[in-house]
Amino acid sequence: MTDSQLIREIKDGNAEAYGELMRRYERKILSFIYHMLKSAGLETMAEDLCNETFYKAYRSLHSFREAEASFSTWLYTIARNTVLSELRKQRTLKMSLEQNPQVAQTMQDVLPEQAVIRGEQATKVREAINALPEKQRSAIILREFDGMDYQEIASVLGQTVSSVKSLLFRARASVKMQLEAYYLGTAQEGYEGMK
């Protein structure tokens, strides 16, 4: 069944068909959310926000209009908005914790340590992507990790196709510059160590 057929069945009262839509998109949406949260160190929240995205999509499915966007584009837009909302909440919480240092210290002690990322090169690429401004980061994640085309990315980000191309160009140039600086610095350290 196509997404459109499943959506028609769901709108006609077959709630079980939504499970099939979730199976089709869950891994991609989870990956997208994980990468968006990574820069804030909140990747442990990815599963919760993924579930929240699918819940919101289910509740709003009656308002989905296939003529305006594909289901996947609509779903990515909900995921992006859910993440941005959570990041705003976390910034507000962080600001209030910084105003009360004792509470902030307690929260830091409770939070689990971040998982160690395998491979220094992969870490540097992720750090470079995470350092990008939000729209550039979203665009590059959607293009490189989720394989979306320019039109789909434009729909998710609410941009024109030319703006998406520009975002991607700037994002790639920035990542390349950051990685070049890292590799030149590493090579220089190695050279000085040989003297």
pLDDT at 152: 85
pLDDT at 79: 93
- Please state the domain extents for the chain: 1-113, 116-195
pLDDT at 24: 93
CB 164 within 8 Å of CB 150:
yes
CB 83 within 8 Å of CB 37:
yes
Assign domain 1-113 to its CATH architecture: Orthogonal Bundle (1.10)
CB 61 within 8 Å of CB 37:
no
The model's pTM is 0.60
pLDDT at 117: 32
SS3 content of the chain, % helix, strand, coil (to 5): 80, 0, 20
Please name the residue that has the structure tokens 């992507």: 129
Distance (Å, whole) CA 132 – CA 174: 8
CB 183 within 8 Å of CB 172:
no
pLDDT at 194: 46
Class of domain 116-195: mainly alpha
DSSP code of residue 112: P
Q: How confident is the prediction along the chain (195 residues), in pLDDT tens digits per residue?
A: 888 899 889 888 888 889 998 999 999 999 999 988 887 788 889 999 999 999 999 989 888 887 777 898 899 999 999 998 888 887 766 654 455 444 444 444 443 433 333 356 667 777 788 888 888 888 888 888 778 888 888 888 888 999 999 989 898 888 888 877 766 665 555 545 545
